[in-house]
Chain A
Amino acid sequence: MAREKSRSAQTTAPPIRPPKLTLAPAPLWHRAAEWMLRCLAVSAVVAIVLILVFIAKEAAPIFYSAAVRAEVTLSKMWVPQLWPGYDESASIWQPVSDIPKFGIWPLIVGTVKVTVVAMVVAVPLGVGAALYVSQYARPGVREILKPIVELLAGIPSVVLGFFALMVMATWFQDLFHLESRLNALVSGVALSFAVIPVIFTLAEEALRAVPRSYVEASTALGAARWQTTLRVVLPAASPGIAAGVALGLGRAVGETMIVLMASGNAAIVSANLADSARTIAATIAAELAEVVFGGSHYTVLFFLGTLLFLTTFCINTIGDWAIRRMKIRLGGMA
């Protein structure tokens, strides 16, 4: 920075040459330390590569190990099989039985069910709360409200899971007369508490970053407040809101403890929200402690982990892209 400034000074002042400014010569160890900084800075990249490599490595035997492939292959996981004792082919998750069954569809259905419930609750509440805090609350009130909502993000997921298991499950059962206490509905609603702060924070930031001039222009054209909010402010903030929804979705798909504790964990294919559900993340958490290292069950669980990693990686990349787009859009137009 300083060097650039001195250079431009030289070019614009021809008659008297100012003394040439240089930075103080750096001792060798400074450069060594800077090199160290650079090496440490790559650690995040190294970490994400190592994560992928090491979970994929443990999942890889599913493609080549004869011992593993005798019990489970990709097609056995994805295509419903005709198991002995069943009348028609079905996708069944029963990894610990005489004939281990690794049908993945019950887990996918469970994950989708719980995630959909969580998003249906979290998106309106998160965006709505962000709208109120950014558009209607007075600045002083906003400075108090924002940290309070964000306290929700500070609740450990195991505490939310505990609350869902001990308290919410009973309330929901009494309220909706449900057959099973732990089900997709309870765990989805509990999960939404973890998703709301993610959506709220990003949506509020995006809504508040909408330039005042937009609102003033809209008002000057005769638009009412609700019209300005709906047709000017919300569309301008939409990339940020979309980013919040995407990151919230990533969180919902990957969240483990809440679902593990509150969903009942029955691996069944059912669209009914009142039925118990088993998600991919919860399956890994519940089963990995009891498997034989390197066995087929172990391999399948790491395969599920790889699947989860790749899914959330894609969702988060989209969210990250939306955030950068929002910054460019608002930065460029303001």
Chain B
Amino acid sequence: MTAAAATAGKSALAQLAVRRTRRNLVADGAMAVASGAALLLVLASLGVILFDIVRNGTPHLSWAFITEAPRDGMTAGGIFPAIIGMLEMVILMTLAGVPVGVATAIYLHEYSSPTSRLTRTIRIAVANLAGVPSIVFGLFGLGFFVQFLGAGIDKAFFHGEKVYGQPALIWAALTMAVLTLPVVIVATEEALRAVPQELREASLALGATKFQTVMHVVVPQAAPGILTGTILAVSRGAGEVAPILFTGAAYFLPQLPKHLSSQFMSPSYHVYVLSTQSPDVDATKPILYATVLVLLGLTFTLNMAAVIVRARMRRQHAGVA
């Protein structure tokens, strides 16, 4: 019996060893190569996109391109009004959206019990809001802000004259604020989670009220996270087109937007219209590429800034804890 068992064990071991040396080496290598190839392909695509845009965009890029208005039916001049329009929209969006997002995150993390029905409902709503297609936000902006709120304001204050009941800067900004709300909430909550519990306890032990603790201890500690969320929201807002299609973006305006009810130009919308509706693609191509480069440079810079702020925050908290 013992001899038979020993042979069986020996052969099993031997089999194992054989499997390790031949087939497994090949299989191990194949898996590393296959997954590495997938990564390489993704990185290469990214590289090709960036290379093409930088190579074709830089020749036309100049200080004048950023500070001049378009001329000669968009075949010459710059994109100054589009940059200003985007800045105004993004600032309004931040003012409207970030405080709400931060308040939501503070309530979720500092006040509510994680198992309460309200908390769960809010969390599900935030997750789903992040997944709503951007074109649906465009429909919502048109149906709610322009047609309902805007037309309502006109009826109440302007005797039915069309002032706010049409696509406008403020409606595009508010639509974008709703779209970027989840970005701010998620980033702020992540930062709140990283604030050590001891700090809260120390503050409460010193006699501070809950609200004082949150406002003077927790939120200042989480400030980099709030900043990260804001930067990401701005980057998203600057790049999206679908939500502003029907809520306020215009292809060409002779004047800069001066009112909340004005329409505005935006580099992202500019790219869309120039590349799909231009009668002479070859004439506008250099401008188009330069606009794409500006847009891409802006969003990349913002995203990099967010990554750096977040990394510094993590290191800081790692030091505290």
Q: Interface 1/0s, chain A 311-334, versus B by CB < 8 A?
A: 011011101100000000000000
Main secondary structure of the interface of B (DSSP, over half): helix
Task: Please report which residues of chain A, range 235-263, place their CB below 8 angstroms from some CB of chain B when the two chains form the complex.
Answer: 247, 250-251, 253-257, 260-261
Contact between A30 and B242, CB atoms less than 8 A apart: no
In the bound complex, CA of A37 to CA of B112 (Å): 11
Contact between A37 and B140, CB atoms less than 8 A apart: no
Interface status of B92 (Cβ within 8 A of chain A)? no
CB contact under 8 A between A152 and B140, given known A24-B208, A261-B272? no
Most buried by A among B35, B132, B239: B35
Out of A38, A55, A124, A253, name the residue touching B140 (CB < 8 Å): A55
B53: A residues at CB distance < 8 A:
159, 163
Binds A, one of B3-11, B60-68, B103-111: B103-111
Interface status of B211 (Cβ within 8 A of chain A)? yes
CB contact under 8 A between A37 and B107, given known A124-B38, A156-B299, A285-B135? yes
Contact between A37 and B143, CB atoms less than 8 A apart: no
CB contact under 8 A between A41 and B143, given known A254-B132, A256-B133? no
Interface status of B246 (Cβ within 8 A of chain A)? yes
Contact between A308 and B136, CB atoms less than 8 A apart: yes
In the bound complex, CA of A30 to CA of B132 (Å): 35
Interface status of B32 (Cβ within 8 A of chain A)? yes
B302: A residues at CB distance < 8 A:
154
CB contact under 8 A between A154 and B235, given known A58-B143, A165-B275? yes
A149: B residues at CB distance < 8 A:
39, 42-43, 46
A135: B residues at CB distance < 8 A:
35
Binds A, one of B23-31, B71-79, B222-230, B252-260: B23-31
**Chain A minimum-CB-distance residue to B211:** A30
Task: Please report which residues of chain A, range 118-139, place their CB below 8 angstroms from some CB of chain B when the two chains form the complex.
Answer: 124-129, 131-133, 135-136
Contact between B138 and A285, CB atoms less than 8 A apart: yes
Q: Interface 1/0s, chain B 102-129, versus A by CB < 8 A?
A: 0110111001100000100110111111
Contact between B131 and A315, CB atoms less than 8 A apart: yes
Interface status of A225 (Cβ within 8 A of chain B)? yes
In the bound complex, CA of A316 to CA of B124 (Å): 10
Task: Please report which residues of chain B, range 265-312, place their CB below 8 angstroms from some CB of chain A when the two chains form the complex.
Answer: 268-269, 271-272, 275-276, 285, 288, 292, 295-296, 299-300, 302-303, 307
**Chain B minimum-CB-distance residue to A41:** B107
B132: A residues at CB distance < 8 A:
48, 51, 254, 309, 312-313
Out of B107, B142, B288, B295, name the residue touching A40 (CB < 8 Å): B107
Contact between B276 and A165, CB atoms less than 8 A apart: yes
In the bound complex, CA of A128 to CA of B134 (Å): 28
Interface status of B161 (Cβ within 8 A of chain A)? no
Contact between A40 and B276, CB atoms less than 8 A apart: no
In the bound complex, CA of A126 to CA of B35 (Å): 9
Contact between A47 and B38, CB atoms less than 8 A apart: no
Most buried by A among B130, B207, B276: B276
CB contact under 8 A between A155 and B296, given known A257-B242, A305-B136? yes
Contact between B209 and A162, CB atoms less than 8 A apart: no
Interface status of A112 (Cβ within 8 A of chain B)? no
Interface status of A70 (Cβ within 8 A of chain B)? no
**Interface residues of B toward A: which range?**
35 or more
Contact between B139 and A161, CB atoms less than 8 A apart: no
For the complex formed, measure the closest distance between the CB of A307 and the CB atoms of chain B, giving whole angstroms: 10
In the bound complex, CA of A255 to CA of B242 (Å): 9
Interface status of B204 (Cβ within 8 A of chain A)? yes
Contact between A48 and B239, CB atoms less than 8 A apart: no
For the complex formed, measure the closest distance between the CB of B267 and the CB atoms of chain A, giving whole angstroms: 9
Contact between B275 and A24, CB atoms less than 8 A apart: no
A13: B residues at CB distance < 8 A:
none
Interface status of B240 (Cβ within 8 A of chain A)? yes
B32: A residues at CB distance < 8 A:
132, 136
Interface status of B95 (Cβ within 8 A of chain A)? no
A162: B residues at CB distance < 8 A:
271-272, 275, 288, 292
Interface status of B196 (Cβ within 8 A of chain A)? no
A151: B residues at CB distance < 8 A:
46, 300, 303
B16: A residues at CB distance < 8 A:
222
Contact between A261 and B181, CB atoms less than 8 A apart: no
A220: B residues at CB distance < 8 A:
none
The 7 closest A-B pairs by CB, nearest first: A254-B133, A128-B38, A156-B239, A316-B131, A41-B107, A40-B103, A224-B24
- Residues of chain A touching chain B, judged by Cβ–Cβ distance below 8 Å, are 1-2, 23-27, 30-31, 33-34, 36-38, 40-45, 47-48, 50-51, 54-55, 57-58, 124-129, 131-133, 135-136, 145, 147-149, 151-152, 154-163, 165-167, 193, 196, 200, 222, 224-227, 229-230, 247, 250-251, 253-257, 260-261, 281, 284-285, 288-289, 293, 301-302, 305, 308-309, 312-313, 315-317, 319-320
Q: A41-B122, A42-B122 given. 11 additional CB < 8 A pairs? A: A24-B209, A48-B129, A51-B144, A54-B140, A129-B35, A154-B302, A225-B28, A253-B133, A256-B241, A305-B139, A312-B132
Listed by A's residue number, 18 A-B pairs whose Cβ atoms lie within 8 Å are A1-B204, A24-B209, A37-B103, A44-B181, A47-B181, A125-B42, A136-B32, A145-B43, A156-B238, A156-B296, A158-B272, A159-B239, A165-B276, A250-B133, A255-B133, A315-B131, A319-B131, A320-B128
